Structure 1
Amino acid sequence: MSKAYKAVVLFADRFVPQKLRPLWEHEAGPKTIFFWAPAFKWALVAASIDEYRRPLDTVSPTQSATLAATGLIWTRYCLVIRPINYALSLCNFSLGVANGVQCFRAYSYQKGLEKMA
């Protein structure tokens, strides 16, 4: 860990209530990357869900399929690493599902256009 991060953690340590100590001290708690990776990765899930508002003719099925595959592949990885990171697993699974649905929507739209032509 960097010196700056250690200083922040030591400072915050004084303010953590006793009831939250088990979470704070957990091997996948806020003191580790295992906590912060899913915390920030949820932004990808939010962006994927926000994409549902875009017109389907501007959605890339390839990009959606790639993000869906990435999310689902990393879901598995999160369950085999130690410590098991359930938060990151849920985040990756959500990313896979959100983009899988978007991929299906875009693919169906493009197939519908082909049938009309």
Structure 2
Amino acid sequence: MFILSDVYRMLIGIGDRVLSTSMKKAVKWDHPAGPKYVHFWSPVMKSSLVMAGIGDLMRPAEKLSLNQSISLAATGLIWSRYCMVIIPKNYFLGLVNFALGLTGLQQLIRIAHYHHTHPKELTKN
């Protein structure tokens, strides 16, 4: 783990030296929710959950997990509210969490529609 933190510190140091003042302002380099802090990288990594949920739109509804969809919807909606309460406000994380909640809700709707339209297949299992 120490190797990764050393690489991170090295990259931030390079960015501090290479980026011009106007570029630093444009990307909010020194902002508490900017690329130098975890408040930026958290939503970047969490967006992979949103991408996985969008990828699940191609899966048949009978293959979707009800528990997973409930968890994604609840997590996304609860944490999107929390992102607007914390300081510094992290709108990027709030947007990612809201998208995660919507993705989970959409999967829940697909599962409910499948169970409603195929009641015979549910009694077989």
Establish whether TM, by shorter chain, passes 0.5.
yes
Q: CA deviation digits over 1:78-117, x for unaligned, max 9?
A: 1111101000000000000011011111111012111687
Preserved contact between residue 61 and residue 107 of structure 1 (Cα < 8 Å): no
For 2:52, the equivalent position in structure 1 comes to 47
Whole-Å separation in 1 of the counterparts to 2:68 and 2:12: 38
1:87 to 88, 92, 117: 92
Whole-Å separation in 2 of the counterparts to 1:16 and 1:28: 18
TM-score by length of 1: 0.90
Structure 1 stretches of 4+ moved >6 Å: none
Cα drift, residue 20 of structure 1: 2.2
For 1:64, the equivalent position in structure 2 comes to 69
For 1:33, the equivalent position in structure 2 comes to 38
For 1:16, the equivalent position in structure 2 comes to 19
Count matched residues: 116
CA RMSD of aligned residues (A): 1.7
Whole-Å separation in 1 of the counterparts to 2:50 and 2:20: 31
Whole-Å separation in 1 of the counterparts to 2:102 and 2:111: 14
TM-score by length of 2: 0.85
Q: What SS does the aligned partner of 2:47 have?
A: helix
Gap regions ≥5 residues in structure 2? none
Structure with the bigger RCO (C-alpha within 8 Å, sep 6+) is: 1
For 1:113, the equivalent position in structure 2 comes to 118
Whole-Å separation in 2 of the counterparts to 1:38 and 1:20: 22
Whole-Å separation in 2 of the counterparts to 1:88 and 1:98: 15
Letter of the aligned partner of 1:60 in structure 2?
A: S
Whole-Å separation in 2 of the counterparts to 1:74 and 1:7: 31
Q: What SS does the aligned partner of 2:34 have?
A: coil
For 2:103, the equivalent position in structure 1 comes to 98
Identity %: 41
Are positions 1:73 and 2:78 aligned together? yes
